[in-house]
Amino acid sequence: MIFLDEMKPFHIERVKRQLSDTLQHKIDHKTKPVGALGMLEQLALQIGLIQQTVTPVLSKPAIVVFAGDHGIAMEGVSAYPQEVTYQMVMNFLNNGAAINVFCAQNGIGLKVVDAGVNYDFPEHSELINAKIGRGTRNCATEPAITAAERDMAIEKGAEICAAIHGQGSNIIGFGEMGIGNTSAASLIMSKMCKIAIENCTGRGTGVSDEQLGRKIAILRKVASHHSINDPLDVLCAFGGYEMAMMCGAMMKAAEQKMIIMIDGFIATAVFLIAHTLYPAIIDFAIFCHQSDEKGHAGMLRYLNARPLLRLDMRLGEGVGCALAYPIIKLSVAFLNSMASFDAAGVSEKK
C-alpha cells in the first residue's frame, strides 16, 4: 500500500512545448483567417503538444463512471434517498441513462465502477467491482474516509485507468454517481479555493429553496468542524470513495500522457485535489462544460479554465465529456485534414 502523505507515486510533467511554433504555423496556415476556428484551434494545439506530434490521433475514447455513497446524505442534503445511487448504477448497466445514450451515439467506451456503493451488485460485464466500503462515514461528525481507504481508492483508480490505457485508449473522461456528492464537492471547493460555503453550494439533485437554505447551514457547520488545508486531508474529510478513485485515475491518466476530459462540478472538485498535488496535470485537461450547479463557474475561474460548452446541465455521470468529445474529435480532424493555403492554391492575407 502506498500512502500518499508519505510519498507521491505519480510522475506528471508539464508537456514539452518545442513543437508549439510548428503546430501553430500549421494551424494558422489552414484555409481560413487566423484564429477563425476559435477554441478548436486551441484544442488542436493542446492535443498536438500532449501527443508531441503535428498529426495527433484519438484512440478508443473511454468514459469511466465511479459510483459511491456518502454518509453526509443522512443529514438530508439531497432531495433523493441514498438507494438512488445503486438504482442508477443498475440503470447504467441496463443502458438506460443519459451517459449510455451519449456514449453509444459517439462511439465512446463506457465502464461503471462500484467504488463504494451501499449495495452488493451481481456480476456484470460492464461493472468493475472496486468497492472500498459500503458508503462513507458522515463527515458532519468525523472524516468521511480514512487515509488508508483514500490511498487504496487512489491506487485502484490508477489501476483502472492504466488498464484502459493498456487497451489502446489515449483519451479518457470521468463521471460519477452518488447521492450526497454535490455536498462533498461543495465542501472540497470551499476548503481548496478559500470561498465561503454558501458560494459553493447549489441545488444538487434539485432541492427546494427551503432545503437549499438548510443544506447550506449544514455544510457551513460541517466545514467549521474540520480545520484542514492539505488536499489529501480535505479528500479524507469530505470526499467519497468514488471521488478518491477518480482522483487516482486522473493522476494516472496524466502520467500516461492521456487527454483527460473533465466533466462538471463534482469532477472539477476532484480535479482541484489532483491539481494541487500535481499542477502539471492542467496541461492534459480539457474542461468539457460549465455546469449549471452553483460553484462550478467559480472553480473554473480558480483554475483559469475555459469550458467548451455551456448547456445549463447539472446531471453528472460524465455526460459533459460525452457531449464534448465530438468537438474534440473535430479539432483533430481539421488539423490533420483541412487544406493549407499552399496546398489549395488559395492566396493568403497580405
Could you list the active site residues? 317
Q: How far apart are CA 12 and CA 323, in angstroms?
A: 27
**Cβ(62)–Cβ(166) under 8 Å?**
no
AA identity, residue 279: P
Strands of the sheet containing 259-262, edge to edge, are: 127-129, 109-116, 62-68, 171-177, 259-262, 285-287
- What would the grid cell of residue 308 be? 467548451
Query: What nine digits make up the cell of 167?
Result: 487497451
**Smallest Cα–Cα separation from 324: which of 281, 272, 286, 267?**
286
One-character DSSP codes across 147-213: HHHHHHHHHHHHHHHHHHHHTT--EEEEEEE-TTHHHHHHHHHHHHHT--GGGT---TTT--HHHHH
Q: Are strands 109-116 and 127-129 parallel, antiparallel or unpaired?
A: parallel
Residue 74 near residue 218, CB atoms below 8 Å:
no
Phi/psi for 67 (5° steps) reads -120, 140
Q: Is 128 left (phi over 0), alpha (psi -120 to 50) or beta?
A: beta
Q: What is the C-alpha to C-alpha distance for residues 207 and 180, in angstroms, rounded to an integer?
A: 12
Cell digits of residue 103 = 456514449
